[in-house]
Amino acid sequence: MAQRPAAVHRSWLPEANDPTTDFQLTHLPYNAFRVAKGQHLCVAIGIHLLDLYACAETGLIPSNLNVACQSPTLNALMAKGPKAWLLLHETLTRLLATDSPHQSKLEEALHSIAGATLIRPIDIPDYTDFYASIHHATRVGQLFRPDQPLLPNYKHIPIGYHGRASSIVTSGTPILRPVGQTRPDAGDEMPNVLPTKCLDYELELAFYIGQTNPLGSSVPVDKAADSIFGCSLLNDWSARDIQSWEYQPLGPFLSKSFATSVSAWVTPMAALEPFFISTHSRPDTDPRILKYLELRSKERKIPDLKFEVFLTTRLMRENKLSPFRLSQSSLRDLYWTPAQLVAHHTINGCNLQVGDLLATGTISGPQESSAGCLLELTRNGSRPITLPTGEVRSFLSDGDEITLRGFCEKRGHPRIGLGECRATILPARP
């Protein structure tokens, strides 16, 4: 990743200096919003959106980035590579910093986030979901394979499956309860076709690919970070009863392809640099990692992102109760890093495309309170959660709303928040 100069922390926009906001000057996450003739790219600053199309039109953007900034999606910018990404991020930071001489021009390009219709800013050609949390993999294994919770290949190979890009939706889009085939009831010969009774969420992080590799080539693990443009929150909705019937021998299919929610905010990796930490060392008892996945010390870095999951039921909304926090977890607990996911994805010569989404899989920590889905938290429904209203949940009910949040905090650096990934469950189609 290209090196950036020391960050400027203060903006001439007062709201951007609020220590509680997700969108301070050092962040500037990308999004897109609806305009009369389509959509414009933007960045968030405090409670505002800065229209990148308008900035390019008034000559505030480097000329070699004008076309990319006036495109409807981020894909054109992503294709330009890490130096261009850093140039734009630093340009926008200077424009919005306290001593900027361009305030009057910029004010004309500002819009309220609250009044804007946000649109997913990346065209996603393909989607791969991984299984990078060893704590999640172990707990799920304990539920279904108590004699062998972790399969022998897990510590050798990043496990993944091919997801469905066409059903990725933006935060705020309601999720219809899916219908599918489930295991036959006791005494029955035939399976059932009905709405899932075991709808679940999965807290994940999405990474967006900004650099392609030609078909037949691979991306070395020490170069993989340069191919990642940014990240956002992701909810991999899962129908557990459909999944348990269909997943053998080829893995999940209809149990997950009905919908995946992402935050519309895309955080550039450059903004997360101050929060990078070294990953946990593997125990000496773990098998030696294969060379193509081996990280040198300087590549053992991931952003120290912390996550929270909240549930709000219909009854809670009616009684104006605050969302109930289900869990807290951290990206630092992943077994496989984003760089390793990229390197493994391409070792066979698979060509990644600009805009491809690679998801971490459920992010869970070592404690039960850090589990990233209801399957873990309720032990597959055997230990329901009691909510402040007295309601109980083993899995999600119609009207339930799930909200994912993520953030970085570090002394001496402004807080960075990933916004939210939120959706409400609607009844299955008639």
Cα-Cα-Cα-Cα dihedral sign, residues 341, 280, 406, 411:
negative
Burial of 281 (0-12, 13-18, 19+ CB in 10 A): exposed
Other Cβ atoms within 10 Å of 186 Cβ, number: 5
The residues near 34 (Cβ < 8 Å, ≥ 6 apart) are 116, 117, 118, 119
Q: Rounded to 5 degrees, what are φ and ψ at 169?
A: -125, 160
- Structure tokens belonging to residue 280: 């946990």
- The amino acid at 78: M
Identify the bridge partners of residue 175 per DSSP, sorted by sequence position: 425
CA-CA-CA-CA torsion sign (51, 54, 58, 62): positive
List all residues 6 or more positions away from 221 whose beta carbon is below 8 Å from its beta carbon.
Answer: 292, 293, 294, 295, 299, 339, 340, 342, 343
> CA-to-CA distance for 144 and 158, rounded, in angstroms?
20
Report the half-sphere exposure of 63 (CA within 13 A, side-chain side): 0
Cβ 209 vs Cβ 125: under 8 Å: no
* CA–CA dist 125, 114 (Å, integer): 29
Number of alpha helices (DSSP H) and beta strands (DSSP E) in the chain: 12, 26
Q: Looking at the annotation, which residues are catalytic? A: 136
* 133: amino acid identity, one letter: S
Residue written as tokens 């969420």? 201
How far is residue 41's CA from residue 55's CA, in Å, rounded to a whole number? 10
The H-assigned helical ranges of 240-313 are 240-246, 254-257, 269-272
Q: Angle CA(391)–CA(397)–CA(400) in degrees, nearest 5?
A: 85
Q: Residue 119 and residue 72: Cα distance in Å, rounded?
A: 10
CB-based contacts of 285, cutoff 8 Å, min separation 6: none
